[in-house]
Every structure is written in structure tokens, then in C-alpha cells.
Amino acid sequence: MPSVIGKAGPPADLRRFMEKRLDVHLSGGRRVVGVMRGYDTFMNIVLDNALELRGRKGINKQIERNELGMVVIRGNSILDWECLDKVRP
């Protein structure tokens, strides 16, 4: 019996990003930076020592920081993300 894969394709393999710092860009213009502690097949991720960054990079460059601790971020709210630490290929 063939395995069934969702419309988005096979789940992402994020193991190499475990215990690495990520800068996650979310819908609504929000950003969260933290250490990835876990994930699932829906790309929901768990970040520890998370810091929310809000604000604009315009003339004032005022960025509001809010310490969140450990958070779960739903995969459908993630626009993109960047690993801030060195990752093995």
C-alpha cells in the first residue's frame, strides 16, 4: 500500500536545526528569535529563550523587545526563517 503524502509534499526534515538559534518571521510583521527545541510534521516549532521583536526599521529604528521564554509557533503563521548559527550540511 503506498504511503499518502499531503499536498505540500513530504514533511520537512528539521533535525539539523535542533538546538540552533532561529530568526522566525511571522505573519502580521512579527519576528521571534530563539533556540529550536522541537518541531512536528506541520512545521509547528518550539523555541526556547524566545525574544519577540516588533517595530519598524525606518528612520526611528525603534524595535520593541519582549522576552517570551519557551513558545510554540504554529507552522501556518511562519513566513520564513533564518538559522543564526552554523549548520552542518
**Residue range 39-64, pLDDT digits in tens:** 998 999 999 999 999 876 666 667 78
Distance CA 67, CA 73 (A): 15
In a domain, 70, yes or no: yes
The domain in which residue 41 lies consists of 17-77
* Structural domain includes residue 1: no
Q: Is residue 88 part of a domain?
A: no
In a domain, 53, yes or no: yes
How many structural domains compose the chain? 1
Residue 41 CA, chain-centre distance (Å), reads 14
For residue 71, the domain's CATH number is 2.30.30.100
Confidence of residue 67 (pLDDT cuts 50, 70, 90): very high
Q: What is the mean pLDDT of residues 13-33?
A: 93
